[in-house]
Amino acid sequence: FAGLADVSIAEDIPVEGEITVPVGSRSPDEDYSTLDEPVRDTIMRDLKAVGKKFVHVMYPKKSSALLRDWDLWGPLVLCVSLALMLQGGSADSKDDGGPQFAEVFVIIWFGAVVITLNSKLLGGTISFFQSLCVLGYCVLPLTVAMLVCRLVLLAGSGTVSFIIRLIVVAAMFAWSTLASTAFLADSQPPNRKALVVYPIFLFYFVISWMILTFTPQ
């Protein structure tokens, strides 16, 4: 405490100044409020954001746009469309059919949550929703594969169609896994990357399996 004596301000020196927080001048037109804009603008802005992220997934570059402005619209749309397309499979009453809508939904969302928790527990620096966003968006290639499979199955369901479907699903599975790894791997501690990537691999493998084994009635 003795050393602090010389730090104190002497009484004869007046302490003065201004305690004001500089406020930038706010003119009404600079005030950007989204309340008055037409509905079309609002919707188009969100759609454009989602569309931009789709493009990022299809051509994965090391950009942080996907991570910075996360949204869950894209994953929701993809999940619902994938689950809908997996319906109409062989659902005999006495045999096990394919996965029901709820099962696909739960697997995708629950799987994504578990993988996110796993990467956070292992010491990852990515936030919860950012990781969900990336994993959800990277289901896009597999949704495309599902679309292709259904079209191929319309043409026929022989061995040739199976081989085509196998190749398409395998390629899209690899694309999904590589895209999500490209976005997520940087936020992991370096000696645990494989521990984080493996569950992602398993997740997309299960989804690919569901797509590949889809048989129409």
Partner 1 sequence: IVTALVMYLFAEFDDAANLLAANPDATTISIDEPAEISKNPHGRLQEPGREEDDELLGTDDSDKTELLAGQKKSAPFWTFDYYQMFFDVDTYQVLDRIKGSVFPVPGKNFVRLYIRSNPDLYGPFWICATLVFTIAVSGNLSNFFIHLGKPTYHYVPEFRKVSIAATTIYAYAWLVPLALWGFLMWRNSKVMNIVSYSFLEIVCVYGYSLFIYIPTAILWIIPQKVVRWVLVIFSLCLSGSVLVMTFWPAVRDDNRRIALATVGTIVVLHALLAVGCLAYFFDAPELDFPAPIIPVHNGTTVLTKSQ
Stretch that binds partner 1, among 56-64, 66-74, 165-173, 204-212 (CB under 8 A): 204-212
96 is a site residue for partner 1 (CB under 8 A): yes
Question: The tokens 């976005």 sit on which residue?
Answer: 183
Report how far residue 144's alpha carbon sits from residue 180's, in angstroms, rounded to the nearest whole number: 16
Of 76, 97, 144, 153, which one interacts with partner 1 (CB under 8 A)?
97
Amino acid in the structure at residue 13: I
Q: Is 216 helix (H, G, I), strand (E, B) or coil?
A: strand
Q: What percentage of the chain's residues is helix, strand, coil (to nearest 5)?
A: 65, 0, 30
Q: Which of 195, 84, 176 is nearest to 134 (CA)?
A: 176
Interface positions, 163-202, toward partner 1 (CB under 8 A): 191-195, 198-199, 202
Stretch that binds partner 1, among 39-47, 48-56, 98-106, 131-139 (CB under 8 A): 98-106
209 is a site residue for partner 1 (CB under 8 A): yes
Of 26, 61, 62, 94, which one interacts with partner 1 (CB under 8 A)?
94
Stretch that binds partner 1, among 33-41, 67-75, 95-103, 173-181 (CB under 8 A): 95-103
Q: Is 108 helix (H, G, I), strand (E, B) or coil?
A: helix
123 is a site residue for partner 1 (CB under 8 A): yes
